[in-house]
Amino acid sequence: MTKSVVQLKGLRKDIKNKTIIHDLDLDLYEGEVFGFLGPNGAGKTTTIRMMVGLMKPTAGNVIIGGTSLLENYEKTISQVGAIVENPELYDYMSGYKNLIHFSRMHKGITKERIQEVVEQVGLTSRIGEKVKTYSLGMRQRLGLAQALLHKPKFLILDEPTNGLDPAGIREFRTYLRKIAQEEGVSILVSSHLLSEIELMCDRVGIIQKGKLIDIRTVKEESQETKWTFTVNQPIQAKDVLEQSFEGVDIETGEKSISISISQEEVPEYNKVLVEQGILVYGIENTKSTLEDEFLKVTGGEQVG
């Protein structure tokens, strides 16, 4: 792939003699949207805190754009924009004053740039009002605006869609893909929602109990669903279907067969089975492989 923008090298964090993050190694590439997936308490926020210098790593280093966060803090952090957990802003000031405030902390942010970002996040009509009066989603948008102001090379978003409405989420997704592709920004999005991560990320890292247990590319087929037919005679059912549909990949179980097909094809398959005298007791949509993995991690409790 292209060159890596962010490197985590043996990142570790101990709090009160307990290891919360275990020697994490990770490379993020230019123009890539990386999903950081894990159940509650897995260590996503802690990792992010170390990546932005809020917490000092017990061991390891964070390299961003070739410079080390620990050795050259000001230069390294100026390439980063972030939201860590909730975007807490100054609620006694207007959204605009909040942005002025953050813009003064970077070099060369013009009034025009602020205006541009405000438009991008869709806050133009309310930017002059006090943040106190904002809804959760509007705060999230303002949080995104402050992270984008200085055109960072690397954007870190910790559960960014929390509070956004469906239209807002879609807009947000499109926008992230756009800045990743057009401006080569590398983006890390954390979430415990698989569905969300799958839709917007190129790669996903699954973290559990402070360990990165798997990194995989979000492939097209992972979005294809698998259907399980519960039948009386799985072997025969397999034969029957293989005769009717060319090149179909069928797994047989003890009392079922699983086929990777789209929803539209399900009735046809069912019809064939029934016509051939096979008893179909049930048809079930099983999760994709990424979701299987994630379910194993989370114990199947947290997928929304």
Partner 1 sequence: MGSFVNLVRNEWMKLMQRKSTWIMSIILIIAVFGIFGVLKWDYSHREESVGANTSEQRLQQQINTYEAQKSEAEPSSLEYKNAVEQIELAQYRLDEGLAPAEVGSFWHVMNTSSNFFSLIVLFVIIVASGILAHEFQKGTIKLLAIRPATRTKLLYSKYVTVLLFSVAIALLLLVSSLVASLIYFPYDSYTHLTWNGEAVSEWPAIFWILQSYLYAMVNVVVMGTIAFVIGALFRSSGLAIGITMFLSFATLPAMMMLRKYEWAKYILFAHNEFSMHLSQPFVDVTPLYSLIVIFVYLVIFHVLMYTSFKKRDIAV
Which residues lie near Mg ion (CB under 5 A)? 44-45
CA distances from 147 to 38, 150, 208, 257 (A): 23, 7, 27, 49
Binding-site member from 2, 14, 101, 277 for partner 1 (CB under 8 A): 101
Out of partner 1, Mg ion, ligand ATP, none, which partner does residue 282 contact, by CB within 5 to 8 A per kind? Answer: none
| 61 in Cβ contact with 11 (< 8 Å) | yes
Q: Give the distance, in angstroms, between the CA of residue 55 and the centroid of all CA atoms in the same chain.
A: 22
Whole-number minimum distance, CB 45 to Mg ion, in Å?
A: 3
Which backbone phi and psi does 288 adopt, to 5 degrees? -70, 170
Residue 113 touches which member of ligand ATP, partner 1, Mg ion, none, C-beta under 5-8 Å by kind: none
283 binds partner 1 (CB under 8 A): no
The answer to whether 97 contacts partner 1 (rule: CB under 8 A) is: yes
Longest dimension (CA), the chain: 74
Residue with Cβ nearer partner 1 (148 or 297): 148
How many angstroms separate the CA atoms of 37 and 189, rounded? 8
Q: In angstroms, rounded to a whole number, what is the distance separating the alpha carbons of residues 148 and 137?
A: 17
Cβ at position 90, least distance to partner 1 in Å: 6
Q: Contact between 147 and ligand ATP (CB under 6 A)? A: no
- Which of 35, 38, 43, 87 touches partner 1 by CB under 8 A? 87
Contact 231, 273 (CB under 8 A): yes
Enter the DSSP assignment of 275. H
Residues that bind ligand ATP (CB under 6 A): 15, 20, 38, 40-46, 192
Residues that bind partner 1 (CB under 8 A): 49, 52-56, 73-75, 77-78, 80, 82, 84-93, 97, 100-102, 104-107, 143, 146
